[in-house]
């Protein structure tokens, strides 16, 4: 086992240092982190060792060890720790298809995190949400739009998720070769986890090895083997009968042995307790047995309280102290590498004014603009000067909706109402209805009052959709269309749908700005609305970003990272984890809006691609009079694999194309381009054979051109 080898090597290095230089001291800052960790480990009692693998580790004052809490959140900003910059929800950031911008976002987040950590340390103890170890990104595959936590992910495609997830890691952790690590990222939830929320503590997932290796694991492998993520979090659910936190197949065989992972493994919060709590997995008979199983499986830190029984487990022979030592060596090594043990780092001089400062707010606005996806436009957008505009809808002036979930609470937020009022002095505005009503009618204005208030209005901007108060992690919500944080349908709430129908029937021009963290079934709205803009939960600068798009100051460039289906009738059962029927890769029907889709105020055409050497050269022409940005997408299909994906993303590039100009985009054709399921090896391999290279502006078949290729 590679983790065992790491432990032995660290001990050997420590002994070598002692032999060559005399006694080794964990307090010697000139020594490598693993040498210091091995020395410190040798000085600890069993009780002290057990305390240091708790997520809320106490101080060990005789050895100078400060208390540390491993639990911190940075889903799209330093979360749950007061004021910080709120960037768009990850599903919105994924719409940018922009790795560089996402890396910049999380570099800013880690800067703010370092400031907050330093200020907390100056006050004394570093409590929860003040540390340097962040349980993000969520790189689970958003396979079903009804999952409430899907908005925390980077979409439904394994390649896109891996590319964007690696950008998050690079931004948070900084230079991997630096002597002090900037922060920890954490790839979660390992593995095969994407709802529903109501059954996650007892659900058993059993998928084919092909689905596992082709869909559910690739992003994790990318973050581990390419980006060097320092933490991996296990999932709540069972996998093939075994809780993920106890699964030797996932943690030991795949993560540690196959991928050579030497970083930390942490449990999701109280996931170890799910082993034995009645009505959940029923896998262990007691807390002590569960703790022993998790420690033995190489879960280094537990979020929960089951590890308080570790000492008893060792004393009763359920666990060997050496197994605890193996895990704790990784924990101590990472604490030294973070500079946390020494309370010093290269970022100690960062000015606290950067937290939600002008530069980071500007980056939040830039990211929000890039996240907007224009789904429909009959020419009504951008809005024109001289039009009488009204802003109606429950999300027009809702700050908390813009923030999403796992969020900071910023000092400054711009809602859509505030942004439009600044630019349209005679703006008409009123709420019109709530997001959803129990009786679907009581909150809405009657038709006569509604139309009276809109007399003389040329265009109604309707700020609708749903809210992070309705979709999210294990929520006490039971209203039409929502249950426990998940969704039971994907339709626009009926009270909003009726209002839009009334406006359309009255002859009003309507622009729907849909705020949601997940795909919506908007079939009726394609008839009642002249334009539809998908705004997600766009962060503290979201109102400004939407206004910029509506008024034409910014040309929309976002693309959907998920499929928008017509209704849940097109989907398999939400608890069916087999990929057939899920996501654009295995969906055989006609979606409402396909993965990768998004309109612009520009028009783009694709010429015939050519292959030169090991590159696919794709000419893209802007045939309009408006400068624009296009996300050029490369998909691969293997015609002789009837059971495989319809197509699968293997490349994307954001390119600026001036009006009337042609830009040639080069896609390298590497072995990774042709990763495909190999039944002989039971894994993904660069597989020889015939492929179709499909390229264009979305995954829709009629939007793609193709080139045959033999690899």
Percent of the chain with pLDDT over 70: 96
Catalytic site positions: 268, 471
Give pLDDT tens digits for 298-319.
999 999 999 999 999 999 999 9
Q: Which of 55, 113, 107, 121 is nearest to 81 (CA)?
A: 113
The CA distance from 666 to 163, in Å, is 17
pLDDT tens-digit series, residues 548-566: 999 999 999 999 999 999 9
Could you report the per-residue pLDDT of 150-207, keeping only the tens digit for each? 999 999 999 999 999 999 999 999 999 999 999 999 999 999 999 999 999 999 999 9
Beta partners for 391? 429, 461
Within 13 Å of residue 334, how many CA atoms lie on the same side as its CB?
Answer: 27
Q: Indicate if the pLDDT at residue 19 is higher than 90.
A: no
Contact 216, 207 (CB under 8 A): yes
pTM, rounded to two decimals: 0.96
The residues, any chain, with a CB within 8 Å of residue 119's CB and separated by 6 or more, are 352
How far, in Å, CA of 460 to CA of 450, rounded?
11
- The CA-atom distances, in angstroms, between 597 and each of 96, 215, 556 are 12, 21, 12
Per-residue pLDDT tens over the stretch 46-74: 999 999 999 999 999 999 999 999 999 99
Nearest to 66 by CA among 46, 35, 40, 42: 40
Interhelix angle for 358-371 vs 542-550, to 10°? Answer: 50
Alpha-carbon span 654 to 83, nearest angstrom? 32
Instruction: Give, as one character, the DSSP assignment of residue 10.
Output: H
Tell whether the model's pLDDT for residue 698 goes beyond 50: yes
The kind and range of the H/E element at 85 are: none
For 320, list phi and psi in degrees, rounded to 5: -90, 140
Q: What percent of the chain has pLDDT over 90?
A: 95
Report, as an integer, the average pLDDT of 449-468: 97
pLDDT tops 70 at residue 15: no
The Cα–Cα gap between 215 and 141 comes to 8
SS3 content of the chain, % helix, strand, coil (to 5): 35, 20, 45
Residue 7: pLDDT over 70: no
Q: What is the mean pLDDT of residues 443-462?
A: 94
Angle, helices 287-296/321-337, rounded to nearest 10 degrees: 60
Q: Name the one residue in this structure whose structure tokens are 């996402």.
A: 102
Structural domains of the chain sorted by starting position, each given as residue range(s) with its CATH number in brackets? 364-586 (3.40.50.1700), 604-710 (2.60.40.10)
In this structure, of 12-16, 455-459, 488-492, 658-662, the range with the lowest mean pLDDT score is 12-16
The answer to whether the bond into 164 is cis (omega within 30° of 0) is: no
Interatomic CA distance for residues 635 and 694, integer angstroms: 5
**Phi/psi at 534 (5° precision):** -85, 115
Band (pLDDT 50/70/90 cuts) for residue 209 is: very high
Cβ-count burial 353-376 (b if 16+ within 10 Å, e if not): ebbbeeebbebbbbbbbbbbbbbb
pLDDT above 60 for 112: yes
**Strand pairing class (478-479; 482-483):** antiparallel
For the cut 90, the answer to whether the pLDDT of residue 679 exceeds it is yes
Q: pLDDT confidence of 1, banded at 50, 70, 90?
A: very low
Q: Residues with Cβ < 8 Å from 43, sequence gap 6 or more?
A: 26, 63
pLDDT in tens, 374-423: 999 999 999 999 999 999 999 999 999 999 999 999 999 999 999 999 99
Q: Which two tokens stand for residue 169?
A: 């890691």
d(CA 565, CA 593): 7
Q: What does the alpha-carbon distance between residue 270 and residue 583 come to, in Å, rounded to a whole number? A: 30
Residues 510-536: pLDDT tens digits?
A: 999 999 999 999 999 999 999 999 999
| Whether the predicted pLDDT of 293 surpasses 70 | yes
**Cα–Cα dist 514/546, whole Å:** 10
Q: Which residues contact 536 (CB under 8 A, 6 or more apart)?
A: 88, 89, 91, 92, 95, 151, 371, 515, 516, 517
Q: How confident is the model at residue 685 (pLDDT cuts 50, 70, 90)?
A: very high
Report d(CA 102, CA 76) in Å as an integer. Answer: 10
Q: Which of 536, 562, 549, 537 is nearest to 628 (CA)?
A: 549
In DSSP notation, 112-142 reads HHHHHHHHHHHHS---TTSSSBB---B----
| Radius of gyration of the chain measured on its C-alpha atoms | 26
Task: Give the position of tokens 């606290």.
Answer: 352
Report the DSSP pairing between strands 604-606 and 615-622: antiparallel
Pairing of strands 186-190, 56-57: unpaired
Residues with Cβ within 8 Å of 99's Cβ and at least 6 positions away in sequence, in order, are 163, 164, 166, 167
Strands (E), 38-166: 56-57, 68-69
Task: Tell me the pLDDT of the chain averaged across its residues.
Answer: 96
Which residues on neighbouring strands pair with residue 462, listed in sequence order? 392, 512
What pLDDT is stored for residue 143 in this prediction? Answer: 98
Average pLDDT, stretch 598-608? 98
Upper half-sphere CA count for residue 154 (Cβ side, 13 Å)? 29
DSSP secondary structure letters along 194-235: ---GGGTTT-EE---HHHIIIIISHHHHHHHHTS--SEEEE-
* Confidence tier at 2 by pLDDT (50, 70, 90): very low
Q: Which residues contact 322 (CB under 8 A, 6 or more apart)?
A: none
- 594: Cβ–Cβ under 8 A, 6 or more apart, which residues? 560, 563, 564, 584, 698, 699, 700, 703
Confidence of residue 125 (pLDDT cuts 50, 70, 90): confident
Per-residue pLDDT band for 437 (boundaries 50, 70, 90) equals confident
Name the pLDDT band for 23 (thresholds 50, 70, 90): confident
The whole-number average pLDDT for the span 201-221 is 97
pLDDT tens by residue, 246-271: 999 999 999 999 999 999 999 999 99
Q: Confidence class of residue 699 from pLDDT cuts 50, 70 and 90? A: very high
Residue with tokens 């020889």, as numbered in its chain = 688
Q: Render pLDDT for 320-377 as a digit per residue (tens, 0 to 9).
A: 999 999 999 999 999 999 999 999 999 999 999 999 999 999 999 999 999 999 999 9
Helix axes 321-337, 2-21, angle to 10 degrees: 70
């Amino acid at each position: 086992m590679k983790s065992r080898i790491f432990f032995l090597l660290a001990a050997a290095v420590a002994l070598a240092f002692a032999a060559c230089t005399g006694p080794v001291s964990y307090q010697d800052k000139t020594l490598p982190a693993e040498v210091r960790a091995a020395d410190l480990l040798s000085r600890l009692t069993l009780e002290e060792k057990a305390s240091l693998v708790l997520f809320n580790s106490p101080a060990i004052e005789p050895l100078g060890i400060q208390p540390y809490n491993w639990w911190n959140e940075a889903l799209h900003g330093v979360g749950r720790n007061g004021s910080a910059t709120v960037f768009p929800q990850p599903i919105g950031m994924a719409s940018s298809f922009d790795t560089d911008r996402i890396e910049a976002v999380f570099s800013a987040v880690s800067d703010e995190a370092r400031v907050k950590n330093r200020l907390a340390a100056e006050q004394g103890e570093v409590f929860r949400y003040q540390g340097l170890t962040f349980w993000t990104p969520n790189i689970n595959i958003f396979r079903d739009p009804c999952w409430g936590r899907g908005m925390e992910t980077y979409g439904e495609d394994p390649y896109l998720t891996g590319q964007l997830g690696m950008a998050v890691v690079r931004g948070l952790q900084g230079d991997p070769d630096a002597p002090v690590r900037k922060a920890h990222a954490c790839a979660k939830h390992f593995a095969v986890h994407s709802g529903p929320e109501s059954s996650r503590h007892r659900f058993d997932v059993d998928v084919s090895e092909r689905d596992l290796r082709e869909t559910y694991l690739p992003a994790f492998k990318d973050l581990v083997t390419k980006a060097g993520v320092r933490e991996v979090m296990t999932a709540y659910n069972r996998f093939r009968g075994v809780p993920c936190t106890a699964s030797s197949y996932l943690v030991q065989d795949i993560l540690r042995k196959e991928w050579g992972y030497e970083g930390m493994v942490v449990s999701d919060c109280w996931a170890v307790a799910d082993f034995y709590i009645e009505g959940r997995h029923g896998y262990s008979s007691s807390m002590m047995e569960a703790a022993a199983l998790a420690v033995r499986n190489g879960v280094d830190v537990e979020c929960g309280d089951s590890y308080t029984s570790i000492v008893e487990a060792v004393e009763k022979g359920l666990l060997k102290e050496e197994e605890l030592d193996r895990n704790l060596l990784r924990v101590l090594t990472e604490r030294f590498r973070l500079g946390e043990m020494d309370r010093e780092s290269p970022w100690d001089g960062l000015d606290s004014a950067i937290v939600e400062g002008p530069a980071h707010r500007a980056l939040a606005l830039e990211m929000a603009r890039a996240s907007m996806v224009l789904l429909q436009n009959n020419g009504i957008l951008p809005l024109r000067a001289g039009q009488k505009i009204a802003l109606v809808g429950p999300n027009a002036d809702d700050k908390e909706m813009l923030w999403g979930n796992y969020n900071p609470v910023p000092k400054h937020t711009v809602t859509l109402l505030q942004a439009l009022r600044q630019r349209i002095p005679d703006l008409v505005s009123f709420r019109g209805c709530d997001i959803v009503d129990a009786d679907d009618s009581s909150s809405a204005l009657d038709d006569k009052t509604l139309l009276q208030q809109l007399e003389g209005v040329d265009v109604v901007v309707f700020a609708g959709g749903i809210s992070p108060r309705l979709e999210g992690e294990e929520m006490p919500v039971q209203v039409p269309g929502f249950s426990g944080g998940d969704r039971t349908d994907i339709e626009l709430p009926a009270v909003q749908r009726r209002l839009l129908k009334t406006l359309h029937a009255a002859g009003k021009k309507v622009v729907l700005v849909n705020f949601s963290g997940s795909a919506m079934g908007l079939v009726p709205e394609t008839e009642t609305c002249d334009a539809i803009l998908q705004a997600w939960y766009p962060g503290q600068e979201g109102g400004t970003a939407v206004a910029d798009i509506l008024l034409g100051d910014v040309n929309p460039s976002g693309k959907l990272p998920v499929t928008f289906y017509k209704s849940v009738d097109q989907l398999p059962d939400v608890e069916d984890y087999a990929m057939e029927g899920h996501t654009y890769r295995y969906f055989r029907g006609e979606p409402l809006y396909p993965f990768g889709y998004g309109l612009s105020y520009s028009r783009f055409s694709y010429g015939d691609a050519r292959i030169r050497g090991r590159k696919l050269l794709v000419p893209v022409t802007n045939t309009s009079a408006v400068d624009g940005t296009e996300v050029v997408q490369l998909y691969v299909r293997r015609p002789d694999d009837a059971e495989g994906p319809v197509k699968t993303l293997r490349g994307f590039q954001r390119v600026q194309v001036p009006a009337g100009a042609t830009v040639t985009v080069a896609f390298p054709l590497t072995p990774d381009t042709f990763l495909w399921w190999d039944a002989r090896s039971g894994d993904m391999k660069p597989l020889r054979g015939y492929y179709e290279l499909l390229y264009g502006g979305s995954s829709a078949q009629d939007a793609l051109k193709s080139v045959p290729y033999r690899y």
